[in-house]
Amino acid sequence: MKKIVNSLLVAAMLVLTSCSSTKSLQEYFVDNSDNPNFLSVDLPVSLLNMDKVDLNDDQREALNSLKKMNILAFKKSDSNAAEFEHEKANVKAILKNGKFIDLMKLNTSYGKGQIKYLGDDEMIEEVIIYGDSDEKGFMLIRVLGNNMKPANLVKFIQVIQKSDYKGEGLGEIGDFLMR
């Protein structure tokens, strides 16, 4: 009997421990991709139409290090305001994980945001861009690539500014972004 009680206690501890662990960002994307309150899209960087932009070698290297973007957006409405607050808290808990390195905080007329990355000063594994607005909802973007370097982030932003990209091919995400 004592062995059964001890086994049950160990099992209960494992369940409680696993329930309290924070999801990974990738798990969060997968778990919510079919949720009707979320808009989800995976985009290749080639969609940004940078072929026509005049880039120097450093900018081209920065662009070539990027492969795709995973975008997950929660569109807030009157009927899902409570879920919005819950999901926003979930994302912020994931992003507080010590493995994410703060790069920049944003405070704009559209809302608040932050840019973080996984990796080190030499090589970035992924860039995470998060922004929220109490009126519209929130958006979470994972930028994935190969041999991404911190200095390339600034160059990539310069490349985007040079392009005439207007959100084509983004579907509902583009509408969400451009409104």
Question: DSSP labels for 6-25?
Answer: HHHHHHHHHHHHHHHSPPPH
> What pLDDT shows up at residue 140?
94
- With respect to residue 113, please indicate whether it lies within any of the assigned structural domains: yes
Residue range of the domain that includes 66: 23-178
Q: Quote the CA–CA distance of 96 and 155 in Å, as a whole number.
A: 26
pLDDT band at 170 (very low <50, low <70, confident <90, very high): low
**pLDDT above 70 (res 163):** no
Task: Output the pTM of the full model.
Answer: 0.74
Question: Which tokens in the block code for residue 163?
Answer: 């392009």
pLDDT greater than 50 at residue 100: yes
Whether 7 has a pLDDT exceeding 50, the answer reads: no
Radius of gyration of the chain (CA): 20
Asked whether residue 53 is assigned to any structural domain, the reply reads yes
Q: How many domains does the chain have?
A: 1
Residue type, 46: S
Q: How many beta carbons lie within 10 A of that of residue 93, not counting itself?
A: 12
Inside any domain, residue 8? no
Q: What pLDDT shows up at residue 121?
A: 76
68 domain residue, yes or no: yes
CA distance 158 to 135: 29
Question: Is the residue at 16 inside a domain?
Answer: no
pLDDT in tens, 57-99: 877 887 788 888 899 999 999 999 999 999 999 999 999 987 8
Model confidence at 112: pLDDT above 50: yes
Q: What distance in Å separates the CA atoms of residue 49 and residue 56, rounded to the nearest whole number?
A: 16
Categorize the per-residue pLDDT at 3 as very low, low, confident or very high, splitting at 50, 70 and 90: very low
Q: Determine which of 13-22, 70-79, 98-107, 136-145 has the lowest per-residue pLDDT on average.
A: 13-22
Query: Per the domain annotation, does 9 fall within a domain?
Result: no
The β-bridge relationship of strands 101-107 and 124-133 is: unpaired
In a domain, 77, yes or no: yes
What's the average model confidence in pLDDT over 160-169? 60
What CA–CA distance (Å, rounded) separates 149 from 123? 5
pLDDT at residue 138 is higher than 70: yes
Q: In which residue are the tokens 């206690």 written?
A: 9
Query: In the predicted model, what is the mean pLDDT of the chain?
Result: 77
User: Quick check: is 81 in a domain?
Assistant: yes
Most confidently predicted of 39-48, 86-95, 116-125: 86-95
Long-range contacts of 18-26 (CB under 8 A, 24+ apart): 22/93, 22/94, 22/97, 23/90, 23/94, 24/94, 25/94, 25/95, 25/128, 25/140, 25/142, 26/142
